[in-house]
Chain A
């Protein structure tokens, strides 16, 4: 079941609660731990301490040490045991402390979790949700800033989900945990506390000032593969996810561009219908992601739009991305695809 917070505001649930993204994620885990005895939450520092970003705070105390626990520092081990737990019938929700540290677990994810259903003709499945903070904008240097979503999108058998608001974070995470296939759930850490306009010298505006932080209590889901219309417009389609949804929104606002902004929410499976409908309406398409450009997910989006909406396009598809370099520390804001880079691409599309 899907709840649309815009149409059914807090009135229905009684009190209107506003949560930041961490609190929303924490609540999704809490709801699932309470509802389903097969759900297990584990990872480095997630147990007693509650995670380095506090996403699992209080969960061990509430649900017990065999449901929520710390793990050895081995991402290969964390994902490998999650495959084994899934084989038994549990529903593990492992946390990888930073997306930049997921690589030691890639063999277990790519060769094992992603293909288990296929190779065993569905005798065994790997119903795990790997949560991991990703993306830059916090001066984390090259090992606390990466956006490796395209690596996972490239693997058959993995779903990749990226929320952009607290409301979505909770509903999507519950859907991921309930999904019977392995899901990578990347949390844009730059927007844990508030959406980001792309202007790094402005203070963070906390989530509670935005209606997308109104989070219903209890269980609700947002289906995987359904995009969110972040802003409706006619001038061009903007495809984005995570932090970049907010940056794109802020830029369009600032420039007075009547854009149709789609928050993709899940990149695999992708809401192709929403993309087609929007591009057919606007005739122009801008794709924005923070990840590196070459073979980034934007390349896939661009190919799809070109293949499927070619005769509706009035201009070549534009991509705005991070540069093809490791994420630099001191030049973080020169690297980040911020308002200037996005603005340039918008101008180009508007002039076309």
Chain B
């Protein structure tokens, strides 16, 4: 029984009754959507402090929104990274590739070729443009929605698909859930399914780099919902205490499965403003503006590399699709949100900018999109030769016991023998398809 009798706060006392506030998103399924309450400042109007400024000087940027691409599709203001046309076209190629890849893999899951997939539609800039602003050997600690980094860093598509199909070609030996990649060669840390664990790890890597007098920095990506985890708080505290050369990218795509950003505190302040309490530099950026994302990430990278310290960047964006193949967002949010999203689509915005500056055309875009679709299709076919999930073309049973430890202790040896014996009992004539 509760400490006080029911309703006692109201009875016999003139003290006001306390009320619990439970956040509620503005729109639910079927609601008409009007994002008028989201302030979209004019592109180019945000001040750009020096990379080596005191963290406190970034305070205004924590409540603003750094934007470069205007409604006129031109680049504006001090944050314009002034990228050459070739770089912009490379960025566009990465965008188109990620879209084509996501489309195909999503379909593959629907066709039963694997168990799970996650798209990053609408958020491509937050990984691709950001990764392009880093050195290729800067260490990244991503969450599960940064396939854009791998594609930017030239990780072979076939490796990604082998991993997604959990087949015999999968370098991770079919151990991880699809999309939980790892590539040390690409300075890409092994993805964990446990949210926000990567954030203090990135700080630790950055501290190590500083301990050793290295020049490489670290960057991490975490969803806005996941910033509620204690790990993120630890990351911020350690980052500031040791002035670690690290970038903390918070991807505010408004949703964490069915929970809107209000359940991570967004009703009261911005995610960028978290930086202030810790003494980190903070920037809130239009995550659907590829040039702004690039510029913000570059600012933070230059700062970290010059021993200026860590930066927290909030990428304000929108998760245009479901959380994963296991999710149907029509059960909890208005389908109109995607169309009404006031910051548009990053791929379209980059395309229009390239066309605006005379470096691109609709025909070139169509050609690029088509090529990407074809390439993904061809590589998918190639990967399927290594098998799809559940069709026998997996790694040998004994591999299940490897890498638990560096060496196999007696009990794992016994268990490995057990597994192989069971296979012989189950498939006396060999595994079908294997």
Contact = CB atoms under 8 A, between A and B. Distances in A.
Interface of A: 37-38, 44-45, 47-49, 52, 65-66, 69-77, 88-90, 100-101, 103-104, 139-144, 293-294, 323-326, 328-331, 334-335, 340-341, 344
Interface in B191-248: 192-196, 225-226, 228-231
Interface hub of A66, A324, A329 (most chain B Cβ within 10 A): A329
A37 B415 CA distance: 50
Chain B interface, >50% SS class: loop
Contacts of A340: 422, 425-426
Contacts of B419: 323, 334-335
Contacts of A325: 400-401, 404, 412, 415
Chain A interface, >50% SS class: loop
A49 B256 CA distance: 12
Given A70-B259, A329-B115, A331-B394, 6 more contacts: A49-B331, A70-B22, A73-B196, A104-B230, A139-B390, A141-B115
A49 B332 contact: yes
A289 to B, nearest CB: 15
Contact of A101 (B28, B194, B265, B421): B194
B307 interface: no
Contacts of B230: 74, 76-77, 104
B28 A48 contact: yes
In this complex, the interface size class of chain B, counting residues with CB under 8 Å from chain A, is 35 or more
A58 B3 CA distance: 29
A334 B192 CA distance: 23
29 contacts: A38-B2, A47-B22, A48-B258, A52-B326, A65-B22, A69-B22, A77-B230, A104-B229, A141-B176, A141-B178, A142-B175, A142-B193, A143-B177, A143-B192, A144-B177, A323-B400, A323-B418, A324-B415, A325-B415, A326-B175, A329-B389, A330-B166, A330-B170, A330-B173, A331-B174, A334-B400, A334-B422, A335-B400, A335-B419
B257 A44 contact: yes
B104 interface: no
Interface of B: 1-4, 6, 20, 22-24, 28, 115-116, 166-167, 170, 173-178, 180, 192-196, 225-226, 228-231, 256-259, 263-265, 326, 331-332, 389-390, 394-395, 397, 399-401, 404, 411-412, 415, 418-419, 421-423, 425-426
Contacts of A323: 400-401, 412, 415, 418-419
Contacts of A142: 175-177, 193
